[in-house]
Amino acid sequence: TQLLEQSPQFLSIQEGENLTVYCNSSSVFSSLQWYRQEPGEGPVLLVTVVTGGEVKKLKRLTFQFGDARKDSSLHITAAQPGDTGLYLCAGFVMNRDDKIIFGKGTRLHILP
């Protein structure tokens, strides 16, 4: 069974601080996605990382895929209250099944 563990589960920090959240697995994934989910809404895709070691930037968000394609991190620089939300990582295995496996998420709260 493939599992994705996200840490921390909850994070509350002051506006302007930097933070990193992690997504770890013992399984290898073909790609890994990061989503953001607001209460009562569907997950919104932020990024897909495919190559081991790949780094993608989305404004103040930096996503990295581990070299072994088993883990990923999301780093936010100078967090703002608008970054508050639930961040989900999800892994996909090509040619095995067509589903993505979600982690439980990191609930981030940025205090003004």
Which residues of the chain form contacts with another protein (CB under 8 A)?
Answer: 30-31, 33, 35, 40-45, 48, 50, 88, 90, 92, 94, 97-105
CB of residue 18 to another protein, shortest distance in Å: 26
Toward another protein, which CB reaches closer, 64 or 79? 64
Asked if 99 and 14 count as a contact pair (C-beta separation under 8 A), the reply is no
CB of residue 112 to another protein, shortest distance in Å: 26
CB of residue 108 to another protein, shortest distance in Å: 16
Six-digit token string for 112: 């003004």
37-50 residues labelled b (16+ CB within 10 A) or e (exposed): beeeeebeebbebe
Toward another protein, which CB reaches closer, 47 or 110? 47
Toward another protein, which CB reaches closer, 94 or 111? 94
CB of residue 85 to another protein, shortest distance in Å: 14
Toward another protein, which CB reaches closer, 8 or 16? 8
| Burial grade of 96 (CB within 10 A; 0-12, 13-18, 19 or more) | exposed
DSSP of 23-51? EE-SS--SEEEEEEE-TTS--EEEEEE-S
